[in-house]
Chain A
Amino acid sequence: MNLTLKIWRQKNAKDKGGFALYTIDGISEDMSFLEMIDVLNERLIGKNAEPVAFDHDCREGICGMCSMFINGRAHGPWAGTTTCQLHMRAFKDGDTITIEPWRAAGFPVVKDLVVDRSAFDRIIASGGFVSVNTGNAKDANNITIPKPDADESFAAAACIGCGACVASCKNSSAMLFVSAKVSQLALLPQGQVERKQRVQSMVAQMDAEGFGNCTNTGSCEAECPKEISLTHIARMNREYMMANIME
């Protein structure tokens, strides 16, 4: 395949940045999107040019690093996939592909396509944990959990913190991410001790990081590579209200 790539280049956080055009040939449709960028970077390095900086780690859809806004969609056109799981067969020979970083006040650009997602880490640190006494590990079956709760919690725990929800939301809201983390622990017996304080702290941190306000448009759910359900947001709202009423 021969392609034209329109890629956002930005030297550092202070640089204004802009698009650069690259033409690339000999791309196989069996390559992943990141492999295609690897090929581009190899060639740039060969020409002594600065390669395109982008985040990646696992390349199998579990780390959530590969943030790229491709042709107007978070992680490109496929549903339920990350950029590393997107394959070049999603595109046609001769296509022009626009690649931008996540755009949100909460995710400042570090360089090119790399954004700083540590706002998510701070949200987790503010309450997304359970306090456990140290000592011997207990037998897991000592704590019984109803199967539907376990399933629901597990579905929420699938969130990889990629930030596609924020990136795709018209309001740059982080509610899907935060609600997945709140749900995951609120549903389990181990999460009960900090239940009220958790949702309050995490929401306060989310607001402090400058993410927008949810209007239930549903873009996040449609773009989430782990297909986290919008119903978690409703659960978070419920948790938050209850935490405030019961205080």
Chain B
Amino acid sequence: MTITQFINSSLGRKTVMAATGLFLCVFLVEHLYGNLLLFYTDGGEAFIEYSHTLVHSLFIRIVEIFLFAAIIVHVVQAIHLTRLNSTARPVKYTEYKVGETSNWFSRNMGITGSLILFFLVVHLWRFFVPYRITDAVGGEGQINVAQDVKLAFQNGWYVLFYLVSIAFLTFHLNHGFQSAFKSLGLNSKKHEQLLSVSGSVFAFGIVGIGFASIPVLFYFGIAGSTF
């Protein structure tokens, strides 16, 4: 079997979704680590230095390409799979109580995923584009990134938008994280429970609480008092 045949098979597609999804999970952890530097009471020093490294490291430039590629592949593949799956049942059920056998979030990864994608565009536009492109090209170090974060999260609506988006991300990952392991063949009766618990801990405990803490703590003035 050639690699093209593999990628075009149902199981190959599943593997691609899982691999890109997990790669994005790794990125989220790294991103969260960076964000938490904002909680140092050092006038934003650590975070500014970290952002500076991101913009100027060649290694990060390369990883960045893979990152955007993973997002594109994950999204394109998801759209393709959704279309294939809708043709697999040409006549729909009149009564279909699928909610009794599986949960809503596992069945609607497309909806949560689309909202995350929308958030991503807004988020990149607000933070990534200015630091990485306009500022880096137009004039070194014009923006104080730490102060800019503080400024952004003074707007209640903006904070709310972030919180809702992070909630969607959390539910997307609650299914996605463990599902990716299953798709890569990493599941067995012995580890089933562990996998589902780890999936929820990762989604709610790490990503959910971790990312949500930033807009919340900045909004209430608990974080960022030194810058």
Contact = CB atoms under 8 A, between A and B. Distances in A.
Nearest to A175: B10
A240 B187 CA distance: 14
Contact of B95 (A72, A200, A212): A72
B91 A218 contact: no
Contact of A106 (B88, B102, B188): B88
B89 A212 contact: yes
B198 to A, nearest CB: 15
Interface in A68-116: 69, 71-73, 98, 100, 103-106, 109
Nearest to A107: B89
> Which of A215, A230, A234, A237: most chain B CB closer than 10 A?
A215
Interface in A49-72: 69, 71-72
A231 B6 CA distance: 21
Given A200-B1, A219-B98, A231 B88 contact: no
Contact of B89 (A103, A152, A200): A103
- Interface size band for B: 35 or more
A23 interface: no
A18 B183 CA distance: 38
A236 interface: yes
Q: Interface of chain A, helix or strand or loop or mixed?
A: mixed
B1 A247 contact: yes
| Interface-central residue, B88, B91, B182, by most chain A CB under 10 Å | B88
Given A213-B84, A231-B192, A237 B10 contact: no
B102 A222 contact: yes
B97 A72 contact: yes
Interface of B: 1, 6, 9-11, 13-15, 81, 84-85, 87-98, 100-103, 106-107, 109, 175, 178-179, 181-189, 192
Nearest 7 interchain pairs by C-beta: A238-B185, A212-B88, A72-B97, A234-B187, A222-B101, A72-B95, A172-B88
